[in-house]
């Protein structure tokens, strides 16, 4: 259903969470996916050997780390794309970004008791005008509090590489097909608008 709506990647949570999935369940879903859909495994401070085992068993192509994983830890997975998540509170952890040799950063809302998925946005104005060198010239993915009603505003203000959405397309803790389609329609309209403006310059 999510693929039919036009998403470019699916996330599979292997950390403690209401959305946690087993490697067997994830593998069954991944085997049925069409080509060119990203398969992202979400982990929090997991042992590298366990990450490797799950990634191989499921057929993941991307690893997303949401804990206190160090630059050395993130470099242990050369055969996968790696996304390192950072919690954003009152300011951006700019001094940390350049330390990581990963494929992308993910910026999410800071929660004192969880590692994301709380449905609250941080101050997006912190990202407005953020220069590439400030984030180690890495693309960044925006997360936290995104939903069909604010996706276009987030794209306009923050100019991220992509959006990571979870609770914003859920109803009672379950993914809602109508909300996923609404969000993807909003992204599609934003892309069309951007293409139209660019073509006239």
Q: What is the mean pLDDT of residues 151-168?
A: 94
Return the pLDDT at 117. Answer: 57
How far is residue 7's CA from residue 170's CA, in Å, rounded to a whole number?
Answer: 15
The pTM score is 0.91
Interatomic CA distance for residues 29 and 37, integer angstroms:
12
- Per-position DSSP letters for the chain, written without gaps between them: -HHHHT-SEEEEE-SSSTTB--HHHHHHHHHTSPTT-EEEEEESS--HHHHHHHHHHHT-SEEEE-SS--HHHHTT-TTSEEEEEEEESSS--HHHHTT---SEEEEEE--SS-SS-S-----GGGTTT--GGGGTT--EEEESS--TTTHHHHHHHH--SEEE-SGGGEETTEE-HHHHHHHHHHHHHHHHHHHHHHHT-
What are the two backbone dihedrals, phi and then psi, of residue 23, each rounded to the nearest 5 degrees?
Answer: -65, -30
Higher pLDDT, 62 or 127: 62
Q: In this predicted structure, what is the pLDDT of residue 128?
A: 80
- For each of the domains in the chain, give its residue range(s) and CATH number, in order of start: 2-199 (3.20.20.70)
pLDDT at position 116 over 80: no
User: How crowded is the C-beta side of 99, counted as CA atoms within 13 Å?
Assistant: 12
**pLDDT by residue (tens digit) across 19-58?**
999 999 999 999 999 999 999 999 999 999 999 999 999 9
Distance CA 75, CA 78 (A): 7
**Averaged over 71-98, what is the pLDDT?**
93
Q: How confident is the model at residue 120 (pLDDT cuts 50, 70, 90)?
A: confident
Beta strand pairing call for 140-143 and 104-109? parallel
């Amino acid at each position: 259903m999510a693929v039919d709506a036009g998403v470019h990647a699916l996330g599979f949570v292997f950390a403690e969470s209401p959305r946690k999935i087993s490697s067997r369940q994830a593998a069954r879903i991944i085997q049925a996916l069409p080509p060119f859909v990203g398969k992202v495994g979400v982990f929090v401070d997991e042992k590298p050997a366990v990450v490797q085992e799950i990634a191989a068993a499921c057929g993941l192509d991307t690893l997303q780390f949401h804990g206190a994983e160090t630059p050395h830890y993130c470099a242990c997975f050369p055969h996968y794309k790696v996304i390192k998540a950072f919690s954003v509170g009152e300011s951006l952890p700019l001094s940390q970004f350049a330390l990581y040799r990963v494929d992308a950063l993910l910026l999410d809302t800071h929660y004192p008791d969880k590692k994301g998925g709380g449905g609250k946005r941080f101050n997006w104005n912190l990202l407005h005008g953020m220069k590439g060198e400030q984030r180690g010239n890495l693309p960044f993915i925006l997360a936290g509090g995104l939903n069909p009603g604010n996706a276009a505003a987030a794209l306009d203000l923050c100019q991220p590489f992509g959006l990571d959405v979870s609770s914003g397309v859920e109803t009672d803790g379950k993914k809602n097909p109508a909300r996923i389609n609404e969000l993807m329609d909003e992204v599609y309209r934003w892309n069309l608008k951007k293409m139209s403006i660019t073509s006239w310059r």
